Chain A
Amino acid sequence: MRHMHKFLIAALALAPAQASAEITNRTIGYVLTNKAWAVYQTPDGKAECPNGFNDGPREQFKLLFPEKDGKQYTWMETQFAREADVWFPAENEPSTDQGPLPYRLVNGKTGVGLNLDGKVGPNDFTGPRGEPGIDNQLFRAVGCTMGFRGPDGSNYFFENDYMQRYNFNRVLLEITDVDDLTNDPDVTVTTYRGLDGLLTSANGKDFIAGGTQRIDERWGKRYIHKLKGKIVDGILTTEPADIKLPWAMTFDVNVDQGFKQARFQLRLTEKSAEGLIGAYVDVNDWIHRLQINWSTHHASYGQISTPSLNRILRKLADAYPDANGKMTAISSAAEMKFAQTFILHAEKPPKVASAKDEERTDARR
């Protein structure tokens, strides 16, 4: 670290005085402070969820095993069976006497996200400002589930709470070769995992700019990705690339979230970056991450039924067909907020993630 500080200080001392302290040597860094799966919400939810909101584990349990006519159930056929459903429901989720468990999908036309395939299809949403061809079938799956809706939904709330509580979630974006934060046709964006806590305001309520982050060069190599991008009218857009980001949730379980053909679309200022990441996410990965991080307790308070979600995600999957033509990934978007931060580099630049790093990571999982 001592060498790192010397290097940094020397670099800054040599730098000419600049109008912006945040952009040094044509570089600006940001740290992720807030994230949530992009859900377009109207105040009463009727536009996007005309059929109401989904049941959660407790409500579904009552539907599946009603206490009527003195019927007696065994542990095996109720709780144990339902616990297994979390992991092995596929298309075989149990049915009630009236048929399969009901599940409410988003029915509205408006959605938040990016046009991932460059087309405008029948299942695409239209953005709030009229942007056509929004690919976000994950929103269709989770948009009518209270846990994913802000600001109080359990998943929405805790994912943000864990941003501060778990340092594992420290996502850094560094934009280099930047001449102008308003318009620059060619910039490079590098993602890293940071090692340090988020900088909070004096009242403890907000995350603020001006912090410093070290890069996790030892365990965080798999999160280092170089992306090309451009800035137009203050909006950074990166070219599609497959990336991984740290995505810890409950109990500090350190898991990743993979994004296929991911692209950032962020409004940049010297203090913040705010916008979206749009990508396809592997259904197996997405549900696996949720299930190993999310207790029944948390799921119950957000009406998040993983057996139902498991079934619905596979049904709505819209990309990356397997050998049988079955789609394995679903279009998605996550809203993200970043605060400006200074990113400390070692003298020797860290390696960008390679296919071998990916293989090693996957082998460990």
Chain B
Amino acid sequence: MRVYLNFLPAVVSLALVACSAPPAGRAPAPQASAKDAVGPGPMDVTSPQRLRVMSSQQYTNTLFNIFGPDLKFDTRFPPLVRTGGLLGNGGAIAGVSDSQLEQYQRTAALVAAEVTNPTHRTFLIPCKPVDEKSADAACAAKFLPAIGRLLYRHPLVPEQTEALVKEAGEAATRFKDFYAGLAYALEGMLISPEMLLIAETSEPDPKRPGHQRLDAYSFATRLSLFLWNAGPDSTLLDAAASGELYTPKGRAKIVDMMLASPRLESGVRAFFDDMFGFDDFATLAKDAETYPSFTGATAADAREQTLRTLVDHLVANNGDYRDLFTTRKTFVSTALAPIYGVPAGRGWVPYEFPEGSPRTGILTHISFLAVHSHPGRSSPTLRGKALRELLLCQQVPRPPANVDFSAVENPKSTIKTQRERVNLHLANPVCAGCHKITDPMGLALENFDGSGAYRTTERGAPIDASGNLDGKSFTDVVGLGRALHDHPSLPTCLVERVYSYGSGGTANEQSKPMLTYLNQEFAAHGYRLPSLLRTIAMSNAFSEVKPPETRTASVPTQSSQTK
């Protein structure tokens, strides 16, 4: 059991601001050169310099990239708070509690034990100790700084390496086991603030006097989390160390390399999993009597189906983002096929619904239909609300606290369809305001029940799936998909989400020129996601930052008085 006192000063609160210079004891980024060039895009826009806590998935991906995917551990870190439509943005306002720290340590202990066990040590540790039962500083010094560079996302200064080697040596002597000592030091690194907290640091921009940009290691980290949802690899850190990352050619080369990497799939999956609110799958449950075909496997595969479709369409085929809402191409699995009413192959199989099928676009995936429904029935309101908030970045007001549900929850009601049910809301002026925003497009999805299965009737009554979206009327879900495809907010919402996801926080008023630029570029490139990612990664605003203002305590404190 390690003590993590070294963590505490850094985790009092993440409301702390990031530093304009590297903290003491951290290797400085390579010196900026005046001949370096900045990226394109509006030059008067910066993104905030942030301090963020690493998400569970970022932590996992980073460790898998460093040590390999066969490591067995789990990262059940507490969920982040959804902010500005994204959980990712919540990392910048999170605190770290004692219990959270315990969870970090549990994971760290598991990982350290796995890395140093007899199975993995032979290929993960680049040397063998002279005596396995005692300390070996030379071998520890080969392993710890190399791994530390990848975990901390920058090289270790000699003092850090010395401290780690010393710590490993003392533990090895105490446990009479070299590998136990190494695991002890590794566990310490895995719960270190330098690992868990992403503290961006900046430096004066040599090309633009009076402006700050992220230092090369912080920029490498921002790029890597943005595109791969993991810490930077050795190549990226090398590019940061050599200064290549801040040369026009070097930056383009690195960004293109990252976009071509298989790790881009992890990044794209993580972004859309966040944007589409798929964390709701963690609590998704359906009434087994009402929806006998909907099992736990269905829920898991429904999430995977949409993510596969997204990656295939946007990354593998470089497709138009808007076409996701009209495409009949997807993937099906054994667990999903019964609800779609189609044959299943073995495992995941590409599938195209036939022409004329109502299954057009990801709105007709089980993921969207089932998550945004009640456990025992569909919900035009929840579906319409999700469509507006998740896909169009609009805010639907919360219902008032004193809503009278008696009319819609009357067990003796003769209401048969959801359309009749939501019409009751429209008759009540208190409810009508919001329901007019959500229901007209949600009703177009009524041909799908709460599990996502297709239906033409509800309790014996034929379903009317007509609706409208901001002035465009349609008769069914196919029309809804087309209206959404053509909705001007669909691509601009994605742009806003991607930009705030990449820069680590909600886009604000100052981001508007950048968003306008990105929207123009996105449209000019046919609404292709890789192109949007590249435009953001290459933009000036992505690397130029506004350093946090120094805050002065409004009430005199002991520390302020002693200065």
| B337: chain A residues within 8 A (beta carbon) | 210-212, 342
Please tell me which stretch of A9-17, A97-105, A133-141 contacts chain B, meaning at least 4 of its Cβ atoms lie within 8 angstroms of it.
A9-17
> Which chain B residue shows the least CB distance to A8?
B343
Pick from B288, B289, B343, B352: contact of A344, CB below 8 A.
Answer: B343
Number of A-B contacts (CB under 8 A): 70
By a CB distance below 8 angstroms, the chain B residues around A202 are 286, 288, 291-295
**B294 proximity list for chain A (CB < 8 A):** 202
- Chain B contacts of A210 at CB under 8 A? 293, 337-339, 341
Chain B residues contacting A203 (CB-CB under 8 Å) are 288-289, 292
CB neighbours (8 Å) of A347 from chain B are: none
User: How many angstroms from the CA of A201 to the CA of B339 in the assembled complex?
Assistant: 12
Contact present for A13 and B354 (CB under 8 Å) = yes
Q: Which residue of B has the minimal Cβ distance to A9?
A: B351
Contact A15 B354, beta carbon cutoff 8 Å: yes
CB neighbours (8 Å) of A22 from chain B are 341
Contact B354 A12 (CB under 8 A): yes
Residues on the A chain within 8 Å of B344, using CB: 211-212, 342
Chain A positions 198-215 with a Cβ under 8 Å from a chain B Cβ = 199, 201-203, 206, 208-212
Chain A residues closer than 8 Å to B357, beta-carbon distance: 17
CA distance A212 to B339 in the complex (A): 12
Q: A202-B286, A202-B293, A202-B294 are in contact. Are A12 and B345 (CB under 8 A)?
A: no
Residues of chain A lying within 8 A (CB to CB) of residue B346: 1
Nearest Cβ distance between residue A26 and chain B, in whole angstroms? 16
The verdict on A5 contacting chain B, using a C-beta distance below 8 Å, is yes
- Chain A: interface residue count, which band? 20 to 34
With both beta carbons as reference points, the residue of chain B lying nearest to A207 in the complex is identified as B292
Rounded to whole angstroms, the CA-CA distance of A203 and B288 in the bound complex is 6
CB interface residues, A 164-219, toward B, < 8 Å: 199, 201-203, 206, 208-212
CB distance from B294 to the nearest CB of A (A): 6
A21 close to chain B: CB less than 8 A: yes
Q: Quote the shortest CB–CB distance from A270 to chain B (angstroms).
A: 10
Q: Are the C-beta atoms of A342 and B292 separated by less than 8 Å? A: no
Q: Is the CB of B292 within 8 A of A208?
A: yes
Which residues on the B side are within 8 Å of A21 (C-beta)?
341-342, 454
CA distance A4 to B345 in the complex (A): 9
State A202–B291 Cα separation when bound (angstroms): 7
Min Cβ gap A112→B in Å is 28
How far is the CB of A346 from the nearest CB of chain B, in Å? 13
Question: Which of chain B's residues have a CB closer than 8 A to the CB of A14?
Answer: 354
Chain A neighbourhood of B292, CB < 8 A: 201-203, 206, 208
Residues 293-321 of chain B, each 1 if its beta carbon lies under 8 Å from chain A, else 0: 11100000000000000000000000000
Assess whether B69 is interfacial by the CB under 8 Å rule. Answer: no
Q: Which of chain A's residues have a CB closer than 8 A to the CB of B556?
A: none
Residues of chain A whose beta carbon lies under 8 Å from any beta carbon of chain B: 1, 4-5, 8-9, 12-17, 21-22, 199, 201-203, 206, 208-212, 342-344
Beyond the given pairs A199-B338, A212-B344, 20 more chain A to chain B contacts, judged by CB atoms under 8 angstroms and listed by A's residue number, are: A1-B346, A5-B345, A9-B349, A12-B342, A13-B355, A17-B354, A17-B356, A21-B342, A21-B454, A203-B292, A208-B338, A209-B338, A210-B339, A211-B338, A211-B344, A212-B334, A212-B337, A342-B337, A342-B342, A343-B343
Rank and list the top 5 A-B pairs by shortest CB-CB distance, nearest first. A210-B338, A342-B343, A201-B292, A21-B341, A17-B356
